[in-house]
Amino acid sequence: MRRRPNVLAGFGSLVWLFVVGLPLYTLLAATLQSRADYAANGPLGLPTHLTLQNYLDDLDGGFGQYFLNTVIVTVSVVAIVLLVVPPLSYAIVRSRGRTTNLAFRLFLLGLAIPAQAVIVPMFYVISKAGLYDNLIGVILPTAAFSLPVCALVLTGVMRDITPELYEAMAMDGAAPWRVFLQLVLPLSKGGLSTITVFSALQAWNGFLFPLVLTQSDETKVITLGLYDFQTQYGINVPGLLAAVVLSMIPILLVYLFARRALVQGLMGVGGK
């Protein structure tokens, strides 16, 4: 059918593979050698003596704690998202109320609010609430800012459920909560995994909220740890890059297993 061997784009795609692949290769190669070897071989050279020492050093140097904090933030954010977004999307799709429609528009507007725009008042609110330098103070705004995208994705999925199914349940006299539990949730599994992956990614990679809302080592998340590490020990390149790899491992694992959910969510679940 589609007989368009786009030579130009095909060649470009190979160039891009190089652009994407080379930095990732140098990243991995650098972390597997000692500082002396790295200095001798250079970033583009082949590693001679492989070692995992850089990773062990990082974990000893506090990255274990940062890792744990990031896990706490991520799990909490996902829990909040999964608790509030499905009912929201259900209401958006099925309710005929004007208030719900208004709420939906609010979330659409929220898509365009950058976190930087509210970071000063967020600092004010979180400080006044006594949550400064507390992981809860990071979790709440992070979750709030992943709501618009998640709501949009899940609403798109729920919109695809055919009206006949709702009507069938209505004939049985099912209340909204039964429709929600027995029809909507099971049929939105794909969308639920998408928003799980998506909000987890946001939380795991979050930087600005932790940067501004926390201070001490006990509340430090892994992205902040990277930033600190760079400013303090920027000379130890293999150690620094090993920390980068550590911060990526869970994401890459999730990607390996949930690629479909993520890509489809981004590409347009309901757009087909």
Partner 1 sequence: MTTTLATGAVTQRRPASRAGTAVTRPGFAWALPATVFFVLFAIVPLVLVAVLSFTRWNGLGSPEFAGLDNWSRLFDDPVMVKSLWLSLLLTLLGVAVQTPISILLGVWAAGNQRNRAVLSAIYFVPLLLSATAVSVLWRALLDPNFGIPAEAEWLFGDGNLFGTQTGAIGVLVLVGAWQFTPFHTLIYQGAARAVPQVLYQAAAIDGAGTVRQFFHITLPQLRNAIITSVILMVVGGLTTFDTVLILTQGGPGTDTTISAYYMYQKAFKGFDFGTGSAVALLLVLVAAVISLVVVRLSGYDRMRSTTEGL
| Residue numbers 92-131 binding partner 1 by CB under 8 A | 92, 94-97, 99-100, 103-125, 127
The total of other beta-carbon atoms located within 10 Å of residue 250's CB is 17
Helix (H, G, I), strand (E, B) or coil at 15: helix
What is the b/e burial string over 253-267, where b = at least 16 CB atoms within 10 angstroms of the residue's CB? ebeeebeebbebbee
**Closest distance to partner 1 from the beta carbon of 68 (Å):** 17
Site for partner 1 contains 242 (CB under 8 A): no
* 193-212 positions binding partner 1, by CB under 8 A: 201, 204-208, 212
> Which of 205, 183, 182 lies closest to 77, judged by CA?
205
- Kindly state the smallest distance separating residue 62's Cβ from partner 1, in Å: 16
Q: Name which of 60 and 99 has its Cβ closer to partner 1.
A: 99
For residue 122, count other CB atoms closer than 10 A to its CB.
Answer: 20
Number of residues that bind partner 1 (CB under 8 A): 124
**CA 83-87-90 angle, 5° bins:** 150
* Cα separation, 263 vs 17, whole angstroms: 19
Q: Does 173 bind partner 1 (CB under 8 A)?
A: yes
The residues in 48-77 that bind partner 1, with binding defined as CB under 8 A, are: none
Q: Torsion over CA of 26, 29, 31 and 33, rounded to 10 degrees? A: -130
Nearest to 103 by CA among 85, 114, 88: 88
Question: Should residue 79 be labelled a site residue for partner 1 when binding is judged by CB under 8 A?
Answer: no
Stretch 3-32: interaction string toward partner 1, x if CB under 8 A:
xxxxxxxx-xx--xx-xxx-xx-xx--x--
Which of 82, 136, 185, 251 contacts partner 1 by CB under 8 A?
251
The reply to whether 137 sits near partner 1 by the rule CB under 8 A is no
User: 42 or 130, CB closer to partner 1?
Assistant: 42
Cβ pair 7, 22 in contact under 8 A: no
Applying CB under 8 A, which part among 54-62, 71-79, 244-252 lies near partner 1?
244-252
CB 246 within 8 A of CB 58: yes
Our finding on whether 153 is near partner 1 (CB under 8 A) is yes
88 counts as binding partner 1 under rule CB under 8 A: yes
Question: Shortest approach of partner 1 to residue 56 CB, angstroms?
Answer: 19
Q: What letter would DSSP give residue 184?
A: I
Q: Which is nearer to partner 1, 7 or 46 (CB)?
A: 7
Does residue 159 belong to the site contacting partner 1 (CB under 8 A)? yes
**Minimum distance from residue 3 beta carbon to partner 1 (Å):** 7
What tokens were used for 183?
A: 């029809």
Determine, following the binding rule CB under 8 A, whether residue 270 of this chain makes contact with partner 1.
yes
143 binds partner 1 (CB under 8 A): yes
Q: What is the spatial distance between Cα 20 and Cα 194, in angstroms, rounded to a whole number?
A: 25
